[in-house]
Amino acid sequence: TRHGKVVLRWGDQKQTYDLKSSTKAIGVTAVGLALMDGKFASLHEPAAKYHPDFGVPPEANREKGWLDKITLFHLATQTAGFDKNGGYTELLFEPGTKWSYSDGGPNWLAECVTLAYGRDLQELMFERVFAPIGIARTDLRWRANSYRPKEIEGVMRREFGSGISANVDAMARIGYLYLRHGRRQERQLIPSWFVDAARTVPYGVKDLPVVKPEDYGNASDHYGLLWWNNADGTMKNVPRDAYWSWGLYDSLIVVIPSLDIVVARAGKSLASQRNPHYAPIEPFIKPIALSVRDKGKWPGAPYPPSAVIRGIEWAPAKTIIREAEGSDNWPITWADDDNLYTAYGDGWGFEPKVDRKLSLGFARITGSPGDFKGANIRSETGERTGQGADGPKAGGMLCVEGILYMLVRN
């Protein structure tokens, strides 16, 4: 689909397929619900807070002393340390120190959500997400648990590791919900910030050592909250904002926000080489991305227009005052002292310039629009170097109650 309309269909649209690990990306949607409903206060809470028997069996996990350190975040990013199998598996490493693809970790996460609500996740998701976006029970079903007892505290125990069967129409509807930042018409079904977190590489995951790199490559550089992505540009001709679910036999829900595209694919494995890691699916996703001809046409933001800001008008170029030549980026914020604070990249800042080129430098701006003055602020702990993508850059800045907050990328 593109711009919310079907572009191309093939195959039986009503046939359901075992989606295998695409279940992870669908299932983690329930985590977004739990955060929105206040069932989870934060992803960084200990998983054991929500599960009295978390991580056990096997008893060896308790003896390692790591269970209390594992957070919901670790479970959602494949950094908790559980071995691959979806049953009761041993911990391989201390949480947050490595990335390891697992079904067991996500299955513990599913149980935490189940216990937080005290409800069958299939019933919860049909009530809150699936039915509102037009998915019928004939379109999607969640099997009983295949690796652990069927119930937990009297409630059906579903899996996140695998277990959902669905048709491509249901898959596309889930992808479209994510494309529209969790919103269905006027209803916010899951938080928009959760969608952003799911589709990007979280802080603390990037560059982690990968267990079995021969199978998963540099997965820690392109994995979000149980969704894969192209954040590191591994797929050269696919936008970096692309992200997708991915299950055995190459079930895929592909979302490309910059192209306003959703693709759903299920069936037999794609006929392509299996290594390196993204090699099987790149020949499928790449032609779709390259087929878009109007890449510069933006279909509109997925939220209502502002009732306050009706539009903008650019001043003539000759009236624009340019200072700090050679520096760029410039996220900026008002502060409590009535001055503006900003950060620059790949430059030397205002006159007098700093003694070395910085990928991240800081400045204060005082005065009026027609008569302002910029002054560099030096910081031993904040300044960074590195040209372009090789150096950290400020992407946003905000002052709240006298404290400056900054979003840094790269």
Instruction: State the DSSP string of 369-407.
Output: TTEEEEEEE--TTT-B--SGGGS-EEEEEEEETTEEEEE
Do residue 205 and residue 352 come from a single domain?
no
298 contacts: CB under 8 Å, gap ≥ 6: none
Do residue 25 and residue 103 come from a single domain?
yes
For residue 344, report the phi and psi dihedrals to the nearest 5 degrees: -120, 160
Do residue 398 and residue 283 come from a single domain?
no
- The answer to whether residue 303 sits within a structural domain is no
Retrieve residue 213's tokens: 């790199």
Distance between CA atoms of residues 312 and 340, nearest Å: 21
Do residue 97 and residue 234 come from a single domain?
yes
Given a contact cutoff of 8 angstroms between Cβ atoms, the answer to whether 350 and 364 are in contact is: no
Q: What is the pLDDT of residue 102?
A: 98
Q: What is the pLDDT of residue 58?
A: 97
Do residue 56 and residue 205 come from a single domain?
yes
Q: What is the pLDDT of residue 285?
A: 98
- The answer to whether residue 299 sits within a structural domain is no
100 contacts: CB under 8 Å, gap ≥ 6: 78, 79, 81, 82, 83, 84, 92, 93, 210, 211, 212
Q: What is the pLDDT of residue 318?
A: 84
Residues across the chain: 410
Walking along the chain (410 residues) 10 residues at a time, the average pLDDT comes out as: 95 97 99 98 98 98 97 99 98 98 99 99 99 98 98 98 98 98 95 96 95 97 98 95 97 97 97 88 97 71 72 82 89 94 95 94 91 94 90 94 91
Nearest CA to 374 out of 352, 347, 355 is that of 352
Do residue 278 and residue 347 come from a single domain?
no
Question: Tokens 């491509």 sit at which residue?
Answer: 168
Do residue 330 and residue 190 come from a single domain?
no
Q: What is the pLDDT of residue 309?
A: 81
Q: What is the pLDDT of residue 300?
A: 60
Q: What is the pLDDT of residue 301?
A: 63
Do residue 286 and residue 328 come from a single domain?
no
Do residue 241 and residue 364 come from a single domain?
no
